[in-house]
Every structure is written in C-alpha cells, then in structure tokens.
C-alpha cells in the first residue's frame, strides 16, 4: 500500500499571541502543493515496525521519526501487528514545508486503511494532533484556515486560477522551530484572509505577511536572496513559508515558474514547481 505525503505552504503566517499553555497562537492558510514524500506499508510477520529510509537523509534520533511515532501511537490504541514501511524522503527538512508532519499523518492514514480501523475524519485529526501541531491538516490535505497551535482547521473555499503556478525554492538552510520562535514578538492582526479571493496576487502583500520572515532573514540573509530571485523572475507574490527557510512565489504561468526553478537550481538550491489550483 502506497501513500503520498504532500508538502504545504503558508499563505501568510501571523503570530497573534502566547497561550496559557506556553504555545503561540497562530493564524495562517495552509495550502498543499504537489511536492510529496512517498510512503509504502505492508503487513509483516515480525513484531514492531521495520522502517526503511531512502532519499534525503533524516538527521536526529531515529526514534523521534514521526512515521515511527505514529506506529507506536496506534499500537497503543489498536490491536495492530508488525508492519514493514519504506519512506522515500523528497521534501527538504527544516524548510517550513511540513514534510515530517505530512509523513506522520500519511502513516496514520495508511495504517487506518491497512488494518481497516474505520477512523472518522474527526478521529483521524484528533490522533494526528497528538503527533504535532501541523499534523491534523495533512489528514485531509485540503486548503484550510488554521488557528491555535495549528490544530484548529476551517475549510477555505478558494482556488487559484488555472494559470497560476507555485514555485518553491529551498537554499539548504535548516531552521529549527526553537530557533524561529526565539526572536518572535507576537503582533495581533486583523487581516482578512477571505479578502484574498477578490484581491490581485500582486496586491496580496497588503494583506499577508509571515511574522517569522524578517527575523529569519536577519539570521540567514540567503532567505532574502531566495525571495528576491523569485520576484526577479516574475513572482506576483513571494514569501517565506512556515518558519523557513523555503520560500515560494506565485506566478501567472508555468513557464515563469519553471524559469524561476531553473535559476534556483543554478544557485545550488532545491526547487519545485506545480500548478496552484487544487
């Protein structure tokens, strides 16, 4: 059984305040894009999870991998047996694209199907929230207004025109969540995400901002260079996504988006382009 774990971008990211539990209140639109990790799972005669990793190297403690944590969580809740899994990693890590969260939730969905657990969407999202703040979004992987720590989702009835393409470029800088939040000062915002539907892309900067962007561009000036490259190749709107360091641009044609990716590749950066419309 094979699943695809998509990346996401943030259309705006506002840090509105600090909650009593110590987490920050966030407001954003999460938008899934056509850049995916690949996860394959099968029943195994052996106990536990036999996890194989290919593609990009995942640093850190293997036991903290969200695919493994998902298996452990479900084994505590349900009578599931041994599983062999193969994760092929494509989405850059520490980039603000949600790849790890997407992998964990993809594992959740695949195990739900593999063992016929019959989870409802509400149950799936609730379990995903135990894995991480961004994980519930990836259960449905549909555009959503996101608030709270990232666990409150509201369907967003908006779509880009068929001609709009998204190009994402990642300069190879790994930004940890801890680093990103250290320099953040909450700034309440009254921005109306629904106004984006009637606002030209070239004017989205009047509505959206990423509160992490200015902080990260001081710490990592290359991030600004990524945004400026996208702009110089015709991006109507460009922004760092998540806590960085990847940036995206919205383009009026596939040709412009691919040209931006080609320019990013020449800089030694990873880049991807896909149609914005879902």
Question: Rounded to the nearest 10 degrees, how much is the dihedral formed by the CA atoms of 201, 202, 205, 209?
Answer: 50
Q: What integer pLDDT is reported at residue 178 of this predicted model?
A: 77
The answer to whether the pTM exceeds 0.85 is: yes
Q: Thinking of the domain 165-275, which architecture would CATH place it in?
A: 2-Layer Sandwich (3.30)
27 part of the active site: no
Question: Which pLDDT band, with edges at 50, 70 and 90, does 21 fall under?
Answer: low
**DSSP string of 34-72?**
EEEEEEEEEE-SSSSEEEEEEES---S-GGG-HHHHHHH
Q: What integer pLDDT is reported at residue 153 of this predicted model?
A: 93
The structural domains of the chain, with segments of one domain joined by +, span 2-154, 165-275
Q: What integer pLDDT is reported at residue 1 of this predicted model?
A: 95
Contact by Cβ (8 Å): 251, 257: yes
Burial of 59 (0-12, 13-18, 19+ CB in 10 A): exposed
134 part of the active site: yes
Nearest one of 212, 207, 193, 75 to 145, comparing CA atoms: 193
Q: What integer pLDDT is reported at residue 189 of this predicted model?
A: 75
Q: How far is CA 127 from CA 73, 236, 246, in A?
A: 8, 38, 28
Question: Which pLDDT band, with edges at 50, 70 and 90, does 22 fall under?
Answer: low
Q: Thinking of the domain 2-154, which architecture would CATH place it in?
A: 2-Layer Sandwich (3.30)
Q: Which of 8, 27, 37, 211 is catalytic?
A: 8
Average pLDDT across the chain, whole number: 93
Residue 105 pLDDT greater than 90, yes or no: yes
Q: Which of 37, 103, 134, 211 is catalytic?
A: 134
């Amino acid at each position: 059984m094979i699943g695809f774990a998509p990346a996401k971008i943030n259309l705006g990211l506002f840090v509105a305040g600090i909650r009593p539990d110590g987490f920050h209140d966030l407001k954003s639109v999460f938008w899934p894009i056509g850049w995916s990790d690949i996860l394959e799972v099968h029943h195994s005669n052996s106990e536990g999870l036999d996890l194989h990793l290919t593609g990009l190297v995942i640093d850190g403690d293997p036991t903290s991998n969200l695919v493994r944590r998902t298996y452990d969580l479900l084994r505590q809740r349900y009578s599931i047996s041994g599983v062999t899994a193969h994760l092929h990693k494509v989405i850059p890590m520490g980039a603000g694209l949600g790849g790890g969260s997407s992998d964990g939730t993809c594992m959740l969905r695949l195990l739900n199907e593999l063992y016929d657990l019959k989870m409802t969407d509400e149950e799936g999202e609730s379990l995903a929230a135990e894995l991480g703040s961004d994980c519930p979004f990836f259960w449905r992987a549909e555009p959503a207004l996101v608030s709270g720590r990232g666990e409150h989702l509201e369907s967003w009835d908006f779509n880009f025109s068929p001609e709009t393409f998204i190009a994402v470029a990642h300069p190879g800088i790994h930004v940890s969540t801890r680093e990103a939040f250290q320099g953040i000062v909450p700034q309440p915002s009254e921005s109306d995400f629904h106004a984006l539907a009637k606002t030209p892309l070239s004017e989205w900067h009047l509505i959206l901002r990423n509160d992490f962007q200015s902080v990260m561009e001081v710490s990592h000036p290359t991030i600004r260079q990524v945004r400026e490259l996208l702009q110089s190749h015709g991006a109507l709107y460009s922004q760092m996504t998540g806590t960085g360091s990847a940036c995206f641009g919205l383009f009026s044609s596939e040709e412009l988006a691919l040209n931006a990716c080609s320019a990013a590749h020449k800089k030694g950066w990873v880049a991807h382009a896909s149609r914005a419309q879902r």
